[in-house]
Protein backbone atom coordinates (compact mmCIF):
# COMPACT_ATOMS: atom_id res chain seq x y z
CA UNK A 1 0.00 0.00 0.00
CA UNK A 2 1.30 3.42 -0.94
CA UNK A 3 0.87 6.32 1.45
CA UNK A 4 0.42 9.46 -0.58
CA UNK A 5 -0.16 12.85 1.00
CA UNK A 6 -0.34 16.18 -0.73
CA UNK A 7 1.83 19.08 0.43
CA UNK A 8 -1.41 20.64 1.75
CA UNK A 9 -2.06 17.58 3.99
CA UNK A 10 1.49 17.72 5.39
CA UNK A 11 1.11 21.47 6.00
CA UNK A 12 -2.19 20.89 7.86
CA UNK A 13 -0.55 18.33 10.16
CA UNK A 14 2.49 20.56 10.82
CA UNK A 15 0.20 23.56 11.50
CA UNK A 16 -1.75 21.48 14.05
CA UNK A 17 1.51 20.43 15.73
CA UNK A 18 2.73 24.03 15.91
CA UNK A 19 -0.60 25.29 17.33
CA UNK A 20 -0.61 22.60 20.04
CA UNK A 21 3.05 23.02 21.02
CA UNK A 22 4.43 22.63 23.68
CA UNK A 23 1.75 19.92 23.97
CA UNK A 24 1.42 16.97 21.61
CA UNK A 25 -1.27 17.17 18.94
CA UNK A 26 -3.15 14.20 17.52
CA UNK A 27 -5.53 13.34 14.74
CA UNK A 28 -6.74 10.81 12.20
CA UNK A 29 -6.15 10.59 8.47
CA UNK A 30 -8.86 9.24 6.21
CA UNK A 31 -8.44 8.10 2.65
CA UNK A 32 -8.83 5.43 0.03
CA UNK A 33 -8.13 1.72 0.32
CA UNK A 34 -4.94 2.16 -1.76
CA UNK A 35 -3.51 4.59 0.82
CA UNK A 36 -4.21 7.94 -0.82
CA UNK A 37 -4.94 10.53 1.86
CA UNK A 38 -8.13 12.51 1.42
CA UNK A 39 -8.92 14.20 4.75
CA UNK A 40 -7.07 15.26 7.92
CA UNK A 41 -9.22 15.04 11.06
CA UNK A 42 -7.90 16.97 14.04
CA UNK A 43 -8.61 15.65 17.51
CA UNK A 44 -8.19 17.32 20.87
CA UNK A 45 -5.49 15.86 23.10
CA UNK A 46 -7.14 15.03 26.42
CA UNK A 47 -4.16 13.16 27.94
CA UNK A 48 -3.43 13.74 31.62
CA UNK A 49 0.04 15.04 30.65
CA UNK A 50 -0.30 16.35 27.07
CA UNK A 51 3.30 17.61 27.03
CA UNK A 52 4.59 14.02 26.85
CA UNK A 53 1.74 11.87 25.52
CA UNK A 54 -1.50 12.01 23.58
CA UNK A 55 -5.01 10.67 23.94
CA UNK A 56 -7.58 11.72 21.37
CA UNK A 57 -10.85 12.98 22.79
CA UNK A 58 -13.37 10.13 22.34
CA UNK A 59 -16.03 12.42 20.87
CA UNK A 60 -13.51 13.68 18.27
CA UNK A 61 -12.64 10.09 17.33
CA UNK A 62 -16.31 9.19 16.92
CA UNK A 63 -17.00 12.32 14.86
CA UNK A 64 -14.01 11.62 12.58
CA UNK A 65 -15.00 7.97 12.11
CA UNK A 66 -18.58 8.98 11.32
CA UNK A 67 -17.37 11.56 8.78
CA UNK A 68 -15.07 8.94 7.19
CA UNK A 69 -18.01 6.52 6.79
CA UNK A 70 -20.14 9.27 5.24
CA UNK A 71 -17.33 10.10 2.78
CA UNK A 72 -16.54 6.47 1.97
CA UNK A 73 -13.09 6.80 3.52
CA UNK A 74 -11.07 4.37 5.60
CA UNK A 75 -8.82 5.13 8.54
CA UNK A 76 -5.39 4.89 6.92
CA UNK A 77 -3.21 6.76 9.40
CA UNK A 78 -2.96 8.38 12.81
CA UNK A 79 -0.73 11.34 13.52
CA UNK A 80 0.66 13.04 16.57
CA UNK A 81 3.58 15.27 17.46
CA UNK A 82 6.71 15.12 19.56
CA UNK A 83 7.24 18.87 20.07
CA UNK A 84 10.90 18.66 21.13
CA UNK A 85 12.05 15.85 18.79
CA UNK A 86 14.39 16.51 15.87
CA UNK A 87 14.14 12.92 14.56
CA UNK A 88 10.77 11.64 15.83
CA UNK A 89 10.33 7.95 16.60
CA UNK A 90 7.55 6.07 18.39
CA UNK A 91 8.03 6.09 22.15
CA UNK A 92 7.45 2.93 24.21
CA UNK A 93 4.06 4.43 25.16
CA UNK A 94 3.22 5.03 21.48
CA UNK A 95 3.97 1.36 20.76
CA UNK A 96 2.00 0.09 23.75
CA UNK A 97 -1.05 2.20 22.88
CA UNK A 98 -1.06 1.49 19.13
CA UNK A 99 -4.59 0.09 18.86
CA UNK A 100 -4.85 0.23 15.06
CA UNK A 101 -2.29 -2.23 13.62
CA UNK A 102 -3.35 -1.59 10.02
CA UNK A 103 -2.85 2.18 10.35
CA UNK A 104 0.31 4.09 9.52
CA UNK A 105 1.52 6.31 12.36
CA UNK A 106 2.89 9.73 11.42
CA UNK A 107 4.91 11.65 13.99
CA UNK A 108 5.84 15.32 13.61
CA UNK A 109 9.03 16.51 15.29
CA UNK A 110 9.27 20.24 15.97
CA UNK A 111 12.70 20.24 17.65
CA UNK A 112 14.49 21.68 14.62
CA UNK A 113 13.89 24.84 12.65
CA UNK A 114 12.38 22.69 9.87
CA UNK A 115 9.66 20.27 11.10
CA UNK A 116 10.37 16.58 10.50
CA UNK A 117 7.47 14.25 9.60
CA UNK A 118 8.18 10.51 9.70
CA UNK A 119 5.93 7.51 9.12
CA UNK A 120 5.94 4.20 10.99
CA UNK A 121 4.24 0.84 11.09
CA UNK A 122 3.79 -0.35 14.69
CA UNK A 123 3.76 -4.12 15.07
CA UNK A 124 1.70 -5.96 17.70
CA UNK A 125 2.63 -3.62 20.55
CA UNK A 126 6.19 -4.97 20.25
CA UNK A 127 8.08 -2.54 18.08
CA UNK A 128 8.03 -0.39 15.00
CA UNK A 129 9.60 0.10 11.61
CA UNK A 130 10.09 3.28 9.65
CA UNK A 131 8.20 3.35 6.35
CA UNK A 132 8.34 5.54 3.29
CA UNK A 133 5.58 7.87 2.19
CA UNK A 134 5.24 10.17 -0.77
CA UNK A 135 4.29 13.85 -0.78
CA UNK A 136 2.61 14.79 -4.05
CA UNK A 137 1.47 18.09 -5.51
CA UNK A 138 -1.98 19.27 -4.54
CA UNK A 139 -4.84 17.89 -6.59
CA UNK A 140 -6.81 21.15 -6.50
Q: What is the dihedral sign for C-alpha 124, 128, 129, 132?
A: positive
Q: Is 24 a catalytic residue?
A: yes
Catalytic residue among 19, 24, 129, 132: 24
Q: Which positions ≥6 away from 13 have C-beta within 8 Å?
A: 27, 40, 79, 106, 108, 117
Residue 13 CA to residue 79 CA, distance in Å, equals 8
Q: Which positions ≥6 away from 131 have C-beta within 8 Å?
A: 3, 104, 119, 120, 121
Catalytic residues: 24
Amino acid sequence: MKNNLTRNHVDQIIAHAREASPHECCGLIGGTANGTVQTIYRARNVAADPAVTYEAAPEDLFAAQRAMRERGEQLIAIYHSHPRATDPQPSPTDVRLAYYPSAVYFIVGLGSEEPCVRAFRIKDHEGWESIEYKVTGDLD
